[in-house]
Amino acid sequence: MIIIRKLIKEDFIQIHQSFNDIGWSKPISLFEQYFNEQEKGQRVCFIALSGDIFAGYATLLNKSKYENFANNNIPEISDLNVLRKFQNQGIGTLLIKECEKIAKITSNKVGLGVGLTSDYANAFRLYLKLGYLLDGNGLASNGKILKYNETAVVNDELNLYLIKIL
């Protein structure tokens, strides 16, 4: 059975270790930051458990760093990660739906960004399947919309942003 709940301090080590075991860098300090922002009402971090085993997480930012969402008060689903051994089991969808429920309290829209390398192909397909559409502003780097002839580095900060009406 999959359980979705808010992040608590006792989760930090298990989450860090779960990612460390597969060679992904997710330092404890990241989850301390997420927890502190959650306590301040800036972000909500949901984790997914398969039984008592950590499977993934997603966060919802009340104030996006992406300029289009920030200017239009659109909350942003940010940093969705499901461990590979738990992918294709609906966990990402459950985490997104939980974020959407919270976003709907303050907005009739929610957004998210997706990276442009092949690493993000499955996530992109999932977002489209769940009804997310391109926001129409093209590429953004570090939350700033790129203009014609600007250059950007292809990394995790180069994104297309999508939006969904709730």
The mean pLDDT of the chain is 96
- Is the pLDDT at 23 greater than 90? The verdict is no
The H or E element that residue 4 is part of is strand 2-6
Q: How far apart are the first and last CA of the chain?
A: 27
| Strand intervals (E) in 32-166 | 43-50, 53-61, 76-82, 109-115, 133-141, 144-145, 158-165
User: Does the 2-165 domain belong in CATH 3.50.50.60?
Assistant: no
pTM of the model: 0.94
Find the mean pLDDT for residues 110-123.
95
Of 50, 57, 52, nearest to 16 by C-alpha is 57
Domain boundaries, the chain: 2-165
* Chain-centroid distance, C-alpha 147: 25
Does the pLDDT of residue 62 top 90, yes or no?
yes
In this predicted model, what pLDDT tens digit does every residue of 71-102 receive, in sequence order?
999 999 999 999 999 999 999 999 999 999 99
Q: Which residue is listed with tokens 């009406």?
A: 165
